Amino acid sequence: MCGSGRIGLPLVEAGHDYTGLDYSAKLLERFRAKVSTAHSPMLIEGDARRFQCGKRFDLIFIGFHSLSEVVDNQDKRQVLIQIANHLETGSAFIFSLQNPDTRMRSIRESPSGKRVIPFPDGTKELEFSYVLESPKNNGEVVGVQRYAILAGDRVIDRRELPIHFHLIGKKDIETILADTGFRIENLFGDYDGSDWHTDSPFMIIDCRLDL
Ligand SMILES: C[S@@+](CC[C@H](N)C(=O)[O-])C[C@H]1O[C@@H](n2cnc3c(N)ncnc32)[C@H](O)[C@@H]1O
């Protein structure tokens, strides 16, 4: 779930022994293309619910709430089982999720958004917009994101991608973690390291494999 390496790339560049997994071959290719150091990272194309890479790690992390893209809770449990199978006992698993109540409120208040980003050479602009439906009671969110490349008034290209993620509740993720052998060591509410509270934007969960 390393995507194109927003977190992984700086670690690779700093010389850490890094392995990334994602089921998108295209994103892994973009990650590889960005690596400028001599040490190429091990990037594995595979599904987080059923990967086997034949070694154990002393830290595994999932950034940018990517576990929310695994919509079904049984599938999330499967991801955590696989992570436990690849961690040394006592090692850390750190991941971020959106705080569901805060995020649902923000979606209801602003279900759509738009940004226009100029190309570095100034010749074109990327227009990005999204529309989200009101979250279902179980925390599932669907919507659409749209991209258009503009040259003045002319649209040169247009893409549309579906959005589908799941805002899992705090109790549910705590249960899945306990069932799969993890103990929560720290629960942060934001990237400044502040403790979690009901209005925090995130749930950043730092846990240890207790088995
Ligand atoms: C929000 S993106 C985050 C990407 C990444 N953390 C980064 O630095 O850009 C979510 C990523 O999770 C990947 N993903 C979603 N479900 C997956 C699964 N079951 N197995 C592997 N990768 C998955 C997607 O392909 C995507 O790259």
- Per residue in 196-211, pLDDT (tens digit) is 999 999 999 999 998 6
- 6 CA closest ligand 1 atom index: 8
Judge whether residue 155 has pLDDT over 70.
yes
> Half-sphere exposure of residue 112, counting CA atoms within 13 Å on the CB side?
5
Residues 54 and 106 in one domain: no
Residues 81 and 108 in one domain: no
Residues 91 and 174 in one domain: yes
Q: Is residue 176 part of a domain?
A: yes
Give the per-residue pLDDT at 37: 76
Q: Is residue 1 part of a domain?
A: no
Residues 153 and 173 in one domain: no
Q: Taking residues 52-61, report their average pLDDT.
A: 93
Output DSSP code: residue 67. G
112 alpha carbon to ligand 1 midpoint, in Å? 22
153 alpha carbon to ligand 1 midpoint, in Å? 34
Give the per-residue pLDDT at 89: 86
Q: Is ligand 1 within 6 A of the CB of residue 145?
A: no
Q: Is ligand 1 within 6 A of the CB of residue 98?
A: no
Q: Is residue 155 part of a domain?
A: yes
User: For residues 99 and 104, what is the distance between their CA atoms, to the nearest angstrom?
Assistant: 9
Which is more confidently placed, 195 or 52? 195
Give the per-residue pLDDT at 211: 61
Q: Is ligand 1 within 6 A of the CB of residue 51?
A: no
Q: Is the pTM of this model over 0.85?
A: yes
Which is more confidently placed, 72 or 211? 72
Q: Is ligand 1 within 6 A of the CB of residue 24?
A: yes
Residues 147 and 173 in one domain: no
Residues 85 and 113 in one domain: no
Q: Are 67 and 22 in contact (CB under 8 A)?
A: no
Residues 14 and 94 in one domain: yes
Last residue of a domain, one of 149, 165, 181: 165
Residues 115 and 200 in one domain: no
Residues 23 and 83 in one domain: yes
> Which of 22, 73, 86 to mutate to test ligand 1, by most ligand atoms within 8 A of the CB atom?
22
Sheet strands (E) in the chain: 19-22, 42-45, 57-62, 87-98, 112-118, 125-132, 140-151, 154-166, 182-188, 202-209
Residue 128, domain extent: 102-165
User: In this structure, which long-range contacts are made by residues 44-50, counting pairs with CB atoms below 8 Å and at least 24 apart in sequence?
Assistant: 44/19, 44/20, 45/21, 46/21, 46/22, 47/23, 48/1, 48/21, 48/23, 48/79, 48/82, 48/83, 49/75, 49/78, 49/79, 49/82, 50/78, 50/82
Assign residue 83 the CATH number of its domain. Answer: 3.40.50.150
Mean pLDDT, all residues of the chain:
95
- 65 CA closest ligand 1 atom index: 1
Q: Which two tokens stand for residue 106?
A: 């923000």
Domain total for the chain? 2
Residues 45 and 114 in one domain: no
Q: Is ligand 1 within 6 A of the CB of residue 180?
A: no
User: For residues 95 and 29, what is the distance between their CA atoms, to the nearest angstrom?
Assistant: 23
Residues 179 and 81 in one domain: yes
Q: Which two tokens stand for residue 128?
A: 């990005």
Q: What's the pLDDT tens digit per position in 165-187?
A: 999 999 999 999 999 999 999 99
Residues 57 and 142 in one domain: no
Q: Is residue 3 part of a domain?
A: no
Q: Are 104 and 201 in contact (CB under 8 A)?
A: no
Which is more confidently placed, 192 or 37? 192
23 alpha carbon to ligand 1 midpoint, in Å? 7
Q: Are 89 and 192 in contact (CB under 8 A)?
A: no
Last residue of a domain, one of 150, 165, 180: 165
> Which of 23, 49, 80 to mutate to test ligand 1, by most ligand atoms within 8 A of the CB atom?
23
